[in-house]
Structure 1
Protein backbone atom coordinates (compact mmCIF):
# COMPACT_ATOMS: atom_id res chain seq x y z
CA UNK A 1 0.00 0.00 0.00
CA UNK A 2 1.42 3.38 -1.01
CA UNK A 3 1.32 6.27 1.43
CA UNK A 4 0.04 9.52 0.06
CA UNK A 5 1.23 12.91 1.14
CA UNK A 6 -1.22 15.12 2.95
CA UNK A 7 -2.14 17.76 0.39
CA UNK A 8 -4.66 19.62 2.50
CA UNK A 9 -3.71 23.04 3.82
CA UNK A 10 -2.55 23.09 7.42
CA UNK A 11 -5.34 23.62 9.88
CA UNK A 12 -4.74 25.79 12.87
CA UNK A 13 -7.38 26.41 15.47
CA UNK A 14 -6.62 29.44 17.61
CA UNK A 15 -7.42 28.90 21.26
CA UNK A 16 -8.52 31.62 23.63
CA UNK A 17 -7.14 31.91 27.15
CA UNK A 18 -9.86 29.77 28.77
CA UNK A 19 -9.39 27.00 26.18
CA UNK A 20 -5.63 27.01 26.69
CA UNK A 21 -6.05 26.84 30.46
CA UNK A 22 -8.52 23.95 30.14
CA UNK A 23 -6.16 22.08 27.80
CA UNK A 24 -3.22 22.47 30.16
CA UNK A 25 -5.37 21.35 33.11
CA UNK A 26 -6.42 18.22 31.19
CA UNK A 27 -2.81 17.52 30.21
CA UNK A 28 -1.79 17.84 33.87
CA UNK A 29 -4.46 15.31 34.83
CA UNK A 30 -3.24 12.89 32.15
CA UNK A 31 0.36 13.21 33.32
CA UNK A 32 -0.84 12.41 36.82
CA UNK A 33 -2.27 9.10 35.54
CA UNK A 34 0.90 8.37 33.54
CA UNK A 35 3.70 9.80 35.70
CA UNK A 36 7.28 10.02 34.47
CA UNK A 37 9.87 9.99 37.27
CA UNK A 38 12.30 12.15 35.28
CA UNK A 39 9.99 15.15 35.82
CA UNK A 40 9.54 14.58 39.54
CA UNK A 41 10.90 17.38 41.69
CA UNK A 42 10.94 20.07 39.00
CA UNK A 43 8.17 22.17 40.54
CA UNK A 44 9.67 22.19 44.06
CA UNK A 45 13.05 23.10 42.52
CA UNK A 46 11.49 25.94 40.53
CA UNK A 47 9.71 27.30 43.62
CA UNK A 48 12.98 27.14 45.59
CA UNK A 49 14.82 28.99 42.81
CA UNK A 50 12.09 31.64 42.70
CA UNK A 51 12.38 32.10 46.43
CA UNK A 52 16.12 32.71 46.05
CA UNK A 53 16.13 34.84 42.91
CA UNK A 54 12.67 36.40 42.49
CA UNK A 55 10.56 36.15 45.66
CA UNK A 56 7.95 38.49 44.21
CA UNK A 57 7.28 35.99 41.42
CA UNK A 58 6.90 33.21 43.97
CA UNK A 59 4.52 35.42 45.95
CA UNK A 60 2.55 36.20 42.80
CA UNK A 61 2.17 32.47 42.05
CA UNK A 62 1.10 31.72 45.61
CA UNK A 63 -1.38 34.62 45.42
CA UNK A 64 -2.74 33.37 42.09
CA UNK A 65 -3.14 29.94 43.70
CA UNK A 66 -5.20 31.47 46.53
CA UNK A 67 -2.64 30.58 49.18
CA UNK A 68 -2.86 32.90 52.16
CA UNK A 69 -0.05 35.39 52.57
CA UNK A 70 1.29 33.91 55.81
CA UNK A 71 2.15 30.72 53.87
CA UNK A 72 4.03 32.46 51.03
CA UNK A 73 7.36 31.73 52.73
CA UNK A 74 6.69 27.97 52.72
CA UNK A 75 8.34 25.61 50.28
CA UNK A 76 6.19 23.61 47.87
CA UNK A 77 6.44 20.39 49.91
CA UNK A 78 5.35 22.24 53.07
CA UNK A 79 1.98 23.13 51.54
CA UNK A 80 -1.14 20.99 51.96
CA UNK A 81 -1.89 18.72 48.97
CA UNK A 82 -4.85 20.88 47.86
CA UNK A 83 -2.59 23.96 47.99
CA UNK A 84 0.02 22.15 45.88
CA UNK A 85 -2.70 21.34 43.33
CA UNK A 86 -3.85 24.97 43.38
CA UNK A 87 -0.27 26.10 42.80
CA UNK A 88 0.14 23.75 39.84
CA UNK A 89 -3.17 25.01 38.43
CA UNK A 90 -1.97 28.61 38.90
CA UNK A 91 1.23 27.79 37.01
CA UNK A 92 -0.84 26.37 34.16
CA UNK A 93 -3.06 29.47 34.13
CA UNK A 94 0.03 31.65 33.95
CA UNK A 95 1.58 29.45 31.26
CA UNK A 96 -1.58 29.77 29.15
CA UNK A 97 -1.55 33.56 29.52
CA UNK A 98 2.16 33.85 28.70
CA UNK A 99 1.63 31.84 25.51
CA UNK A 100 -0.57 34.70 24.30
CA UNK A 101 1.99 37.42 25.03
CA UNK A 102 3.20 39.30 21.96
CA UNK A 103 6.41 38.03 20.38
CA UNK A 104 8.07 41.37 20.91
CA UNK A 105 7.37 43.00 24.26
CA UNK A 106 8.42 46.63 24.18
CA UNK A 107 7.42 49.95 25.66
CA UNK A 108 5.78 50.99 22.38
CA UNK A 109 2.31 51.15 23.99
CA UNK A 110 3.60 53.06 27.01
CA UNK A 111 2.05 56.49 27.45
CA UNK A 112 4.19 58.76 29.61
CA UNK A 113 2.48 60.53 32.48
CA UNK A 114 1.36 63.97 31.31
CA UNK A 115 3.27 66.94 32.61
CA UNK A 116 1.57 68.03 35.84
CA UNK A 117 2.19 71.72 35.12
CA UNK A 118 0.03 71.73 31.99
Structure 2
Protein backbone atom coordinates (compact mmCIF):
# COMPACT_ATOMS: atom_id res chain seq x y z
CA UNK A 1 0.00 0.00 0.00
CA UNK A 2 2.62 2.46 0.82
CA UNK A 3 6.11 2.54 -0.49
CA UNK A 4 8.72 4.18 1.73
CA UNK A 5 10.21 5.93 -1.30
CA UNK A 6 7.03 7.40 -2.82
CA UNK A 7 4.76 7.80 0.21
CA UNK A 8 1.22 6.57 0.67
CA UNK A 9 -0.82 5.62 -2.37
CA UNK A 10 -4.44 6.68 -3.00
CA UNK A 11 -6.39 9.59 -1.59
CA UNK A 12 -4.89 11.26 1.42
CA UNK A 13 -7.16 13.40 3.58
CA UNK A 14 -5.45 15.44 6.21
CA UNK A 15 -6.73 16.20 9.68
CA UNK A 16 -7.47 19.87 8.89
CA UNK A 17 -9.76 18.81 6.02
CA UNK A 18 -11.53 16.29 8.25
CA UNK A 19 -11.90 18.90 11.00
CA UNK A 20 -13.32 21.44 8.51
CA UNK A 21 -15.80 18.86 7.23
CA UNK A 22 -16.87 17.99 10.79
CA UNK A 23 -17.32 21.69 11.61
CA UNK A 24 -19.41 22.21 8.46
CA UNK A 25 -21.54 19.18 9.31
CA UNK A 26 -21.92 20.43 12.89
CA UNK A 27 -23.06 23.84 11.61
CA UNK A 28 -25.59 22.19 9.30
CA UNK A 29 -26.91 20.05 12.16
CA UNK A 30 -27.28 23.17 14.33
CA UNK A 31 -29.16 24.92 11.52
CA UNK A 32 -31.44 21.92 11.07
CA UNK A 33 -32.04 21.77 14.82
CA UNK A 34 -33.14 25.41 14.81
CA UNK A 35 -35.39 24.86 11.80
CA UNK A 36 -36.95 21.78 13.40
CA UNK A 37 -37.60 23.79 16.57
CA UNK A 38 -39.36 26.46 14.51
CA UNK A 39 -41.33 23.79 12.67
CA UNK A 40 -42.43 22.21 15.94
CA UNK A 41 -43.56 25.63 17.21
CA UNK A 42 -45.52 26.26 14.01
CA UNK A 43 -47.11 22.81 14.22
CA UNK A 44 -48.16 23.44 17.82
CA UNK A 45 -49.75 26.73 16.80
CA UNK A 46 -51.53 25.00 13.91
CA UNK A 47 -52.83 22.33 16.27
CA UNK A 48 -54.05 25.03 18.64
CA UNK A 49 -55.78 26.89 15.82
CA UNK A 50 -57.32 23.66 14.54
CA UNK A 51 -58.73 22.95 17.99
CA UNK A 52 -60.12 26.49 18.19
CA UNK A 53 -61.71 26.15 14.76
CA UNK A 54 -63.27 22.83 15.77
CA UNK A 55 -64.75 24.49 18.87
CA UNK A 56 -66.11 27.32 16.73
CA UNK A 57 -67.64 24.80 14.33
CA UNK A 58 -69.41 23.11 17.24
CA UNK A 59 -70.70 26.44 18.53
CA UNK A 60 -71.91 27.42 15.05
CA UNK A 61 -73.72 24.08 14.72
CA UNK A 62 -75.44 24.65 18.07
CA UNK A 63 -76.44 28.19 17.05
CA UNK A 64 -77.85 26.93 13.76
CA UNK A 65 -79.94 24.37 15.65
CA UNK A 66 -81.23 27.05 18.03
CA UNK A 67 -81.99 29.33 15.09
CA UNK A 68 -83.93 26.56 13.33
CA UNK A 69 -85.95 25.86 16.49
CA UNK A 70 -86.74 29.56 16.96
CA UNK A 71 -87.79 29.93 13.34
CA UNK A 72 -90.08 26.91 13.70
CA UNK A 73 -91.68 28.47 16.79
CA UNK A 74 -92.37 31.81 15.14
CA UNK A 75 -95.93 32.40 14.07
CA UNK A 76 -96.54 34.32 10.89
CA UNK A 77 -97.65 37.86 11.66
CA UNK A 78 -100.88 39.27 10.31
CA UNK A 79 -100.35 41.98 7.70
CA UNK A 80 -101.20 45.46 8.97
CA UNK A 81 -103.90 46.21 6.35
CA UNK A 82 -105.95 43.29 7.70
CA UNK A 83 -105.65 44.62 11.24
CA UNK A 84 -106.68 48.14 10.19
CA UNK A 85 -109.67 46.75 8.27
CA UNK A 86 -110.78 44.67 11.28
CA UNK A 87 -110.57 47.68 13.62
CA UNK A 88 -112.51 49.83 11.13
CA UNK A 89 -115.20 47.14 10.84
CA UNK A 90 -115.56 46.94 14.64
CA UNK A 91 -115.85 50.73 14.93
CA UNK A 92 -118.39 50.79 12.11
CA UNK A 93 -120.45 48.10 13.88
CA UNK A 94 -120.39 50.08 17.14
CA UNK A 95 -121.58 53.22 15.32
CA UNK A 96 -124.35 51.25 13.57
CA UNK A 97 -125.57 49.75 16.86
CA UNK A 98 -125.54 53.24 18.41
CA UNK A 99 -127.57 54.59 15.48
CA UNK A 100 -130.09 51.74 15.81
CA UNK A 101 -130.50 52.45 19.53
CA UNK A 102 -131.08 56.13 18.83
CA UNK A 103 -133.66 55.26 16.14
CA UNK A 104 -135.33 52.78 18.49
CA UNK A 105 -135.62 55.38 21.23
CA UNK A 106 -137.09 57.93 18.76
CA UNK A 107 -139.65 55.39 17.54
CA UNK A 108 -140.54 54.53 21.13
CA UNK A 109 -140.91 58.23 21.95
CA UNK A 110 -143.10 58.77 18.89
CA UNK A 111 -145.39 55.84 19.77
CA UNK A 112 -145.90 56.82 23.35
TM-score (norm 1): 0.21
Bigger RCO (CA 8 Å, 6+ sep): 1
Structure (1/2) with the larger helix percentage: 2
TM-score (norm 2): 0.22
